[in-house]
Amino acid sequence: MPELREGQPSPIQTAASEPRVRRLPDAPSSLRQTLDELRGAQLPAADIWAARQWMNDMAPRLARFVADEALRDELLHRIYHEARLAGLPPEIVMAVIEVESAFRPDAVSSAGAVGLMQIMPFWIRELGLPADDLKDPWRNLRYGTTILAHYLAVERGDLTRALARYNGSLGQTWYPERVMRAWTRHWRQAAPGGRALVTD
């Protein structure tokens, strides 16, 4: 598992302040641009505080899936970071991972989808990055959040259709419904006043 070197900023400090995915005509060029970009923008202090609060809230929820505390903390840092880079609510990414792999980085589906976010290997061929290891949880997160953000842009912000595209079941709602149930049961946060931070 990669570790932060001394003096290296943590993922929450280096998260970009705007989405990395643009509305481009085809997924491979959009994803290649996103995967190859490096961002060094610093979060404002208030956003760093919010990120820490989010992680403190999510840690006990994730414990039912990931027993190891160090791995759990690193996973939360990475999920928050990758979700923010892609312009996605991190709670939705948590719900997708729960449904896709139950947070098992070594998960492989009968269809051949791999890792935390169950990425199909054809994405590597499409992107022309044969060295990428989809079982590397951090690379898998980068692919998954980028692909989902791309589909969200294609669907003009319609999360139901974007999730169905992600699953390969466009036109059906069973998969988005599973993700939203996971979000409601395990990852949903209340905003001040009791409202949900993400609406379904």
Q: What is the pLDDT along the chain (200 residues), one digit of tens a residue?
A: 334 344 444 333 333 333 333 333 355 555 555 555 434 445 567 778 888 999 999 999 999 999 999 999 999 999 999 999 999 999 999 999 999 999 999 999 999 999 999 999 998 887 657 788 999 999 999 999 999 999 999 999 999 999 999 999 999 999 999 999 999 999 998 764 444 445 44
Residue 67 burial (CB < 10 Å; 0-12/13-18/19+)? exposed
Q: Under DSSP, is residue 165 helix (H, G, I), strand (E, B) or coil?
A: helix
* pLDDT for residue 186: 95
Q: Would you call 186 exposed, middle or buried from its count of C-beta atoms within 10 A (0-12, 13-18, 19+)?
A: middle
Please state whether the predicted TM-score (pTM) of the whole model is above 0.85.
no
Q: What is the pLDDT of residue 93?
A: 98
Place of tokens 């932060």: 4
pLDDT of 6 reads 45
Cα dist from 168 to 25, 118, 164, 197, whole Å:
19, 12, 6, 27
Q: What angle do CA 186, 190, 196 make, to 5 degrees?
A: 90
Asked whether 86 and 146 are in contact (CB, 8 A), the reply is: yes
* Separation CA 139–CA 96 (nearest Å): 16
Q: What's residue 7's pLDDT?
A: 45
Domain ranges of the chain: 20-35+42-187
End-to-end CA distance of the chain: 34
Looking at residue 35, its pLDDT comes to 53
CATH class of 20-35+42-187: mainly alpha
pLDDT at 108: 95
Helices within the chain (DSSP H only): 11-14, 27-36, 45-62, 69-86, 90-101, 122-127, 137-154, 159-167, 174-182
In this predicted structure, what is the pLDDT of residue 111?
Answer: 92
Q: Give the span between the Cα atoms of 76 and 95, in whole angstroms.
A: 13
